[in-house]
Amino acid sequence: MINVRLSKTILITSLIGAVFFAYEAFTRNTIENLDSKKKLTDSGLFEYWKSGNIILLIRHEERCDRSSNPCLGPDNGITVSGSERAKRTGVHLKAYFELDNTDLFTSPTTRTVQTSDIMLGKASLLSDREAICGNDITDKLLKHKETSRNLIVVTHNTCMKDLIRSSGYQHSWSPEYGSLLFAKTTNKNEIRIVGTLNADEIPKYPSSI
């Protein structure tokens, strides 16, 4: 009887340990959602930004050719509702982060250029859509990143996923229209993801509304 109880205890303990290990493994491979001011602060993002160590990838806003919503302009651009959200995102970002020490680039497609113009202003055009994409996206980002200056790139879903995969995240986040992917550069010239934000989840800064 004692052996049976002992076996059950060992089994239950093993199961609890396995569940805990699985949870730990999952959370290690899940990107942090920075959907509150506390999370933004605890992530160290504000300090990294002040030091000019941040790389921010932003997905373009809602595609007109894949939506029934009215187009802002050409059908290869974004929708009117997408442009309105891009404007709101820009207001919130500028409330949190000074852009004086920031370089802004955009993929040359109509939808990314429109998003950039409305959200943050005129950006430098990359040579083509794939200029900062692919398996070597880390190297490409570092080539565009100036010392002590933040880098913002308005880009595409696939390119953001390239950085997520190259950073070793197995349980990856799927970027929505207008979403933000924050990463930081390290002293060893590496890139580490800090966290993500969907456009509608950006904490409102009191003075920005």
Q: Which two tokens stand for residue 200?
A: 């509608």
pLDDT attached to residue 173: 78
Classify domain 33-208 at the CATH topology level: Rossmann fold (3.40.50)
Q: Inter-axis angle of helices 110-119 and 80-96, to 10 degrees?
A: 50
Tokens 């052996």 locate to: 3
- Would you kindly state where each structural domain of the chain is located, as residue ranges? 1-30, 33-208
CA proximity to 184, closest of 134, 130, 148: 148
Instruction: Please state whether the predicted TM-score (pTM) of the whole model is above 0.95.
Output: no
pLDDT tens for each residue of the chain, 209 residues long: 566 565 665 655 555 544 444 333 344 568 999 999 999 999 999 999 999 999 999 999 999 999 999 999 999 999 999 999 999 999 999 999 999 999 999 999 999 999 999 999 999 999 999 999 999 999 999 999 999 999 999 999 999 999 999 999 876 678 999 999 999 999 999 999 999 999 999 998 766 54
Beta-carbon contacts of 188 under 8 Å, excluding residues fewer than 6 positions away, are none
pLDDT attached to residue 174: 85
